Amino acid sequence: MDNLDRRILDILRRDARTPYTEIATQVGTSEGTVRNRVDRLTEEGIIERFTISTRTGNIKAMIEVSVKVNVNTTSLSETMATWEQVDFVWQVSGEEDVVLIVDAADTRAVNQLITRSRERDEVKNTKTRLILDERLGGVSS
């Protein structure tokens, strides 16, 4: 992956619907080059998916999960990623082992996800943080 790939990814991160022609203009290359690069990055698994970010008025939260020793966090993460209202599951270093980023209809739904997490045998503890506001990084005003 070179600098051009990074610049293309930076644009797509902000808006995955940006037309290839517009990306090409911004990075100073042809539309065909952008198309080929995006295809290659997708084939190589660097681009995993194209997604959207929403402002639904829902409650967004981080549920931080600590697991017991010798737990397969990859397997646990894969399971939790299938749960409704879970947008992302991160395996992290530090005091917690897994972080769920959730977009739930209300605090009751967040609490149900916390309970569901705590009911897992592998889970030792959870901490939850409500997300009060968010900004897209790297966007200048």
Q: What is the pLDDT of residues 43-90, one digit of tens each?
A: 999 888 777 666 666 889 999 999 999 999 999 999 999 999 998 999
Quick one: 115 and 84 in the same domain? yes
CB-facing half-sphere around the CA of 26: CA atoms within 13 A: 16
What is the pLDDT at residue 141?
Answer: 44
**pLDDT tens-digit readout, 4-48:** 998 998 888 888 889 999 999 999 999 999 999 999 999 999 888
On average, the pLDDT of the chain sits at 90
Q: Could you tell me the pTM of the whole model?
A: 0.68
Tokens at residue 72, please?
Answer: 């397969």
Task: Examine residue 139 and state whether it is found in any structural domain, yes or no.
Answer: no
H or E element that contains 124: strand 123-131
CATH of the domain at 86: 3.30.70.920
* Close Cβ partners of 44 (under 8 Å, ≥ 6 residues apart): none
Determine the angle formed by the axes of helices 20-27 and 31-43, rounding to 10 degrees. Answer: 110
Quick one: 28 and 72 in the same domain? no
Helix and strand element counts for the chain (H, E): 5, 4
Q: Which domain holds residue 106?
A: 59-130
